[in-house]
Structures are given as structure tokens and as C-alpha cells.
Chains A and B, each alone.
Chain A
Amino acid sequence: GAVVSQHPSWVICKSGTSVKIECRSLDFQATTMFWYRQFPKQSLMLMATSNEGSKATYEQGVEKDKFLINHASLTLSTLTVTSAHPEDSSFYICSASHLAGGPRIGELFFGEGSRLTVL
């Protein structure tokens, strides 16, 4: 159980276009989802916390207008990279928290990631 699906798994786009990445919790409800960015051979850096029905909370240094996050339902959060540029090329990973309680509370489940390449 606790599967998180991320789509697309990879995308190539032209500079200046916008790209949307979806993150779905398939078998549980996630009031909170997290978006991370990972550069090659580096760690995950938290970009923002996505809360269902409210505005996302962005980490310092992350441009809100560049990385639009929407969490319209308890099972879906989207990240839109607007007016993408080559420096936005990265591996984007979402995660959702298992909030049902019990021994797995606090555990995060991750999507498979989306590799964005901006030409």
C-alpha cells in the first residue's frame, strides 16, 4: 500500500514553455505533499509543501511564480514549471505523507520522479 504515482516520468521541452508534473497518492489520502528537486549525484532539496485546499508553502530561494503548485484534491498535487529554461532541468520528486496513524505515521512515500530537460 501507500503508492505515489508521478507523471510524466520524463519530459523534454523547449525553452520558454511550461511543463506540468502530476503527483497522485493512489491508495491513501494525503493532505500534505512535498516537492523536491534533485541535481545529479546530489541530495534532495525541498522546494515547497503543498497543502490541500490552500496555498503552497515555498522554501527560501524558490520562486513561487516559476514553480506553481496546486493541490486541488486529497490525492493530487501538480507542479508547473513556467517559462522553463535550461537551468530548470532537473529531477523533480514528489512525496506524500501517510497520515492514517499507527506505526507508519510520519513516513513519506515518494513518486518515481520526473526528469525535466529543457532545451
Chain B
Amino acid sequence: SQQGEEDPQALSIQEGENATMNCSYKTSINNLQWYRQNSGRGLVHLILIRSNEREKHSGRLRVTLDTSKKSSSLLITASRAADTASYFCATDGTGTASKLTFGTGTRLQVTL
């Protein structure tokens, strides 16, 4: 399977704490993306990092990419209850653009 693995599968933290999720993938990529999914809803794009980038920031989000280890991490700083959702990484191989392979996802629960 090409599917990436994410860990942890589930993460529960208190509001204000930082949340870190990791993603590992198996094949060479053009870019890696992180998506958020609220329960029973569609996916919302969070951030895209290209294979030649190592780190990217967007608001409270920080993404790193290590292509030598085929891994990425998503850090959410100062988490809020509204950040409660499932987070997926997705990669596209060096071939067909936009054909994404999703990781297994991390379910984040932020409590007050």
C-alpha cells in the first residue's frame, strides 16, 4: 500500500498546549499537504510544503518536511478547542499531479 502512516492515531491535549502530529510516507513526492477534517465533513486544506522545502509556517501551524526520512510533522501551537478534528497528511507522487495518497490520520481532541 502507498498509504502513509501517521502517529499518534489519537491525541488529547488541553487548550493552550501544542499538538504535534507526524506523518511518514513511502515514495518520492512532489509535495506534501496537510488537511483537516471535522467529523462528518469534507476536508479543509491547511498547508502545502514542496519537496524542496524544509519548513513552512502558516499562522499557528508549522510544518516540517524531511525527504531523506520520508517524514513530515505538523505542529499546532497554542491549541484551541476549535482545533478538535482529524488531521491527515497527503502526498502526491512524482507523476500524476494532484493524485493524493492520504495518511491514516490523527484524531486531535482539545479540551478546555
A113–B41 touching, CB < 8 Å: yes
Binding site for B on A (CB under 8 A): 4, 6, 32, 34, 36, 41-46, 49, 91, 93, 95, 97, 104-113, 115
Query: Which DSSP category, helix, strand, loop or mixed, fits chain B's interface?
Result: strand
Query: Which DSSP category, helix, strand, loop or mixed, fits chain A's interface?
Result: strand
B101–A106 touching, CB < 8 Å: no
Whether, in the assembled complex, B54 has its beta carbon less than 8 Å from a beta carbon of chain A, the answer is: no
Q: Which of B30, B96, B100 contacts A108 (CB 8 A)?
A: B100
Other than A108-B90, A112-B41, give 10 A-B pairs with Cβ distance below 8 A: A41-B107, A43-B105, A44-B43, A93-B43, A97-B97, A97-B98, A107-B45, A108-B98, A109-B45, A110-B35
A107–B40 touching, CB < 8 Å: no
B4's nearest neighbour on chain A, judged by CB, is A43
CB-CB under 8 A from B98, the residues of chain A are 32, 34, 97, 106, 108
Q: Which of B40, B45, B48, B102 contacts A43 (CB 8 A)?
A: B102
Whether, in the assembled complex, B24 has its beta carbon less than 8 Å from a beta carbon of chain A, the answer is: no
Binding site for A on B (CB under 8 A): 3, 30-31, 33, 35, 40-45, 48, 88, 90, 92, 96-105, 107
Q: Which of A97, A104, A111, A113 contacts B40 (CB 8 A)?
A: A113
- Closest chain B CB from A4 CB (angstroms): 8
CB-CB under 8 A from B44, the residues of chain A are 110
- Closest chain A CB from B9 CB (angstroms): 9
A91's nearest neighbour on chain B, judged by CB, is B40
Distance, CA A36 to CA B42, complexed state (A): 11
CB-CB under 8 A from B105, the residues of chain A are 42-43
B42–A110 touching, CB < 8 Å: yes
Distance, CA A43 to CA B86, complexed state (A): 10
A49–B92 touching, CB < 8 Å: no
Distance, CA A109 to CA B90, complexed state (A): 13
A34–B99 touching, CB < 8 Å: yes
